[in-house]
Amino acid sequence: MTKTETVTFTLRAQDAQGNTADDSLTVTIKPLPIQPLNDTRVILQATSSQILSGYQAN
């Protein structure tokens, strides 16, 4: 993956009386940064500790 992707997860729940509730969660996925190491053309990929995440509830 070389570009940012957005994925939306949608949940619909229905109880025994027919009441429904909808909710969704949208996640933005960014590729890990890749950077060259010195001039050897060896590529390093970022570690999971370099991934920033956030969650905002409505």
What is the pLDDT at residue 34? 65
45 within domain boundaries: yes
- Mean pLDDT for back-to-back runs of 10 residues, the chain (58 residues): 84 94 92 64 56 48
Alpha-carbon span 36 to 42, nearest angstrom: 6
pTM more than 0.85: no
What is the pLDDT at residue 4? 87
Number of domains in the chain: 1
Structure token pair of residue 34: 């890749």
Domain span at 17: 5-50
56 within domain boundaries: no
What is the pLDDT at residue 3? 83
Residue 31 has φ and ψ, to the nearest 5°, of -65, 150
